[in-house]
Structure 1
Amino acid sequence: NYGDAFPARTSASEEFPVDVIGKSEPVKIDERYLSEIIEARLEQIFNKSKEVLDEIDALELPGGIVLTGGAASIPGIVELAQEVFDVNVKLYVPNHMGLRNPVFTNVISIVDYSANLSEVYQLAKSAVTGEKVTQSQATVNYQPEVAHETSFEATEEFSVPEEENEAEGIVGKVKGFFSSIFE
């Protein structure tokens, strides 16, 4: 709540307690001092990243830089990154209900990646690692049809063969687990 990547936007009079290892009483720190520490560390990280990106001319590519993850929520980080990298910088925020915070970007990416792995990849991985690939039953979302003016006399029951039910495997379990947590 007190951090900012630009100390000039903070107050030196706003103080808050910070627990310090080895001391029994919390130490009072002002908001500006904390922001100076944050700015220094972020500049250090950005400058090291910039050196590596400059070596491969990555900053010459169109599109700029996209910041994401928990630290990307720090106020002023986008402006500081633009200052250091001298390119367009954007903040990515996931567009999932209940997960609209950069903190969730990594877990959403991992779940999405795992859910989209092909069956061939999973079989190849199991052959290399020796792990047994387990398959779970797929859930079928049945949505009843809305009655229309024309009616049909006969309807067929819908059933999924067991082989198709087993298609999702561990990927389906992981995807189902995370979707049940975040919905």
Structure 2
Amino acid sequence: MSNSDIIVSLDIGTSKVRAIIGEVTNGAINIIGVGSADSEGIRKGAIVDIDQTVRSIRSAIDHAERMVGIQISEVFVGIQGSHIALQTNHGVVAVSNEDREIGEEDIERVMQAAQVVALPPEREIIDVVPRQFLVDGLEGISDPRGMIGVRLEVEATIVTGTKTSLHNLARCVEKAELHTSGRILMSLASGSMSLTKDEKVMGTALVEIGAGSTTIAIFEGGGLVATSTLPVGGEHVTNDISYGLRTHTEQAEKIKLKFGCALVSDAAEDQKFKVMRMGSNVEKEFSQVDLANIIEPRMQEIFHLVRQEVRRLGFGEKVNGYVLTGGAVSLPGTLSLAQHELESSVRIAVPDFIGVRDPAFNSGVGMLQYVLKNTRRGSTTPVVKKTASRKAKTPAAASPKPGMFERLKNYFSEFI
């Protein structure tokens, strides 16, 4: 492992924080460790408590470290939420080499030129994603390196977010004693994992149904063209079960995962379970059909809202299919219900890696794939080495705090 690169993704969701460790071997990713922790301090995808979020991040990282036996110091952080916005821009530069061969430096300069865009003071750039390059007017170039030309252009998608949300997230990662190697839009990461090249070109809606929100990403012409977030997700299904069965939310979540079914027609009447009623010590028996009668209307509503939002974004007739991902799509019957409600071809994307074959891990694994795909010369891939213990720190970090006398001396020295 000492000769291989280790990439770590951090997916901070409403219900879970997941740290996934990938080892790059011969240009391919192998998942070697996964850490997961219950997410505290996150509501509907937004941070509402810094300290609780830090504890959740640290818990997930510790879990991943123990599994693999390494110390994690750097992570790629996933960005999502309703504050994300996309806009297109154009960059133009003259090729600098005397022989007119386009090199890495030219690509970096044209990408910098594409970032020159007027933004409101409360927003900042997260990422710049090239849609196509143009060399002396020739369009449709995905990688111009090595080509001969005088004029290099790029048509790029600028991904922006609000400074408040981004800085709060960065603060949480920093307080968890981690360094952010890069910020990645979750929709792009999930798209690189879930969609085929043809699906990105022909027009596909990637729908990620998480716990607190549902993210819709429209891919067309080979790239991401629109994104939107709906404030409804699997957590709302759990709350419906809690109200319907009059039980605690924690028990409602366990019942959903064990007996839940998104279609009443697929549920079994003879599948029974008992629920402790809220405010009493009495258990009441329900069937899977009773549970499905609660789940189906909410899942129907989610897919109805998804279809409405795709139309609002202006892609109602342009989308040729839907790809579902996220933890909430694991419920039996979800695919059939989605096909009926969306009236289109639908499939569920699942990562094809041992240990993470679950739609809930799609974004985290997708981040690793996205980093590997977009790593170029000069970009940094975080490398972590095996350590005997996570407690080992650098000498600077391990130095003791100054005593009372030392602090007083430093304080008074400012006035001398």
TM-score range with shorter-chain normalisation? 0.5 to 0.7
- Structure 1 pair 57–19 and aligned structure 2 pair: CA distance change class (3 A): farther
Structure with the bigger percentage of helix: 1
Shift of residue 104 of structure 1?
1.3
1:12 has 2:12 as partner: no
User: Which protein is bigger by CA-based radius of gyration?
Assistant: 1
Q: 1:79 aligns with which of 336, 339, 345?
A: 336
- Structure 1 pair 168–24 and aligned structure 2 pair: CA distance change class (3 A): same
- Structure 1 pair 87–57 and aligned structure 2 pair: CA distance change class (3 A): farther
Describe the superposition over 1:29-76 as per-residue Cα deviations: whole angstroms up to 9, x where unpaired.
211011111111101111111111112342422441001121211111
The TM-score, its normalising length taken from structure 2, stands at: 0.28
- Structure 1 pair 20–113 and aligned structure 2 pair: CA distance change class (3 A): farther
**In structure 2, distance between residues paired with 1:118 and 1:9:** 45
Query: Gapped runs of 5+ residues in structure 2?
Result: 1-257, 387-416
Describe the superposition over 1:133-179 as per-residue Cα deviations: whole angstroms up to 9, x where unpaired.
xxxxxxxxxxxxxxxxxxxxxxxxxxxxxxxxxx433xx34xx9xxx
Shift of residue 121 of structure 1?
9.8
The residue number in structure 2 matching 1:109 is: 366
The residue number in structure 1 matching 2:357 is: 100
Amino acid aligned to 1:48: L
Amino acid aligned to 1:89: V
The residue number in structure 1 matching 2:296 is: 39
| SS of alignment partner, residue 332 of structure 2 | coil
Q: 1:168 aligns with which of 366, 381, 389?
A: 381
Name segments (4+ residues, structure 1) moved above 6 Å.
119-122
How large is the RMSD of aligned CA atoms in angstroms? Answer: 2.7
Structure with the bigger percentage of strand: 2
| Percentage identity across paired residues of the two chains | 27
How many residue pairs match? The answer is 128
**In structure 1, distance between residues paired with 2:326 and 2:276:** 25
- Structure 1 pair 72–41 and aligned structure 2 pair: CA distance change class (3 A): same
Query: Gapped runs of 5+ residues in structure 1?
Result: 123-166, 177-183
**In structure 1, distance between residues paired with 2:334 and 2:326:** 12
- Structure 1 pair 112–8 and aligned structure 2 pair: CA distance change class (3 A): same
**In structure 1, distance between residues paired with 2:328 and 2:347:** 14
| SS of alignment partner, residue 22 of structure 1 | coil
